[in-house]
């Protein structure tokens, strides 16, 4: 029987830098939902390094979920769950999880339609308590400009493959998240990538009706 595990070279290159950022951004304990987990290698790496957090990987692609589950089974970590079938663009009511203490999404926002990014912030806002983080990783434009020529070339290649894809403006992502989150903490990363950490805003209490 063929091994369903996939291996992403980018995951091996960036996992330690992302982990370093996560150590300062994630809560000390609780449930971390990873959206669009891909091969599953990030989830295994982070769960091994952060044993007080429970990692819940997810992906809409059944082949990706098979890879994730094979990595999870091989790791044998008590704080790492099998993959959920989760489409970030779906309504929050359709997400197969009711709560989380953090939401993590690596390299999805630019390799998906914009509707997936909008769905991600809506779903995360529905799951997270006040102060909890939504953490994104990937390339972003700042002030309408690419941060490096390599990112501009990458953006062009993505749009040639699918016009709905492309490197997003950090400001557009922040605006999309503003309904449920505060402004992002921006952490520069290697290879012209960024980590964006949004904190769930407190719910505004409804005004009392005068009696």
Read off the pLDDT of residues 160-211 as tens digits, 9 standing for 90 and up.
999 999 999 999 999 999 999 999 999 999 999 999 999 999 874 443 434 3
Kind of pairing between the strands at 102-106 and 133-138:
parallel
Q: How confident is the model at residue 109 (pLDDT cuts 50, 70, 90)?
A: very high
What is the C-alpha separation between 29 and 53, in angstroms, rounded? 5
pLDDT above 60: residue 41 = yes
Query: Which three-class secondary structure state does DSSP give residue 131?
Result: coil
Contact call for residues 114 and 162 (beta carbons, < 8 A): no
Domains of the chain, residue spans = 9-199
What is the C-alpha separation between 199 and 54, in angstroms, rounded? 19
- Where would I find the beta strands (DSSP E) of 62-147? 102-106, 133-138, 140-141
pLDDT (0 to 100) of residue 1: 76
pTM: 0.94
For residue 76, give both structure tokens: 């044998």
Query: Which three-class secondary structure state does DSSP give residue 85?
Result: coil
User: Could you tell me the fold of the domain covering 9-199?
Assistant: Rossmann fold (3.40.50)
Considering the chain, what percentage of its residues have pLDDT values greater than 90?
A: 93
pLDDT (0 to 100) of residue 147: 95
What is the C-alpha separation between 42 and 34, in angstroms, rounded? 9
pLDDT above 50: residue 93 = yes
Alpha-carbon distances of 5 from 10, 63, 78, 194, rounded to whole Å: 15, 9, 19, 27
């Amino acid at each position: 029987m063929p091994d369903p595990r996939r291996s992403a070279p980018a995951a091996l290159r960036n996992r330690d830098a992302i982990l370093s950022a996560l150590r300062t951004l994630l809560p000390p304990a609780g449930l971390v939902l990873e959206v669009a987990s891909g091969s599953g290698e990030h989830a295994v790496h982070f769960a091994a390094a952060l044993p007080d957090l429970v990692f819940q990987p997810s992906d809409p692609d059944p082949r990706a979920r098979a890879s994730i589950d094979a990595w999870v089974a091989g790791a044998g970590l008590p704080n790492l769950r099998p993959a959920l079938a989760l489409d970030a663009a779906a309504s929050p009511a359709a997400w197969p999880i009711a709560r989380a203490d953090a939401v993590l999404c690596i390299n999805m926002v630019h390799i998906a339609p914009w509707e997936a990014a909008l769905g991600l912030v809506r779903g995360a806002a529905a799951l997270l308590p006040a102060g909890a983080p939504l953490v994104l990783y990937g390339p972003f434009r700042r002030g309408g400009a690419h941060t490096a020529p390599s990112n501009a070339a990458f953006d062009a290649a993505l749009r040639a493959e699918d016009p709905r894809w492309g490197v997003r403006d950090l400001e557009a992502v922040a605006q999309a998240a503003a309904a449920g989150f505060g402004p992002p903490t921006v952490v520069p990363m290697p290879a012209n990538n960024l980590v964006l950490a949004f904190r769930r805003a407190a719910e505004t209490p409804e005004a009392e009706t005068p009696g």
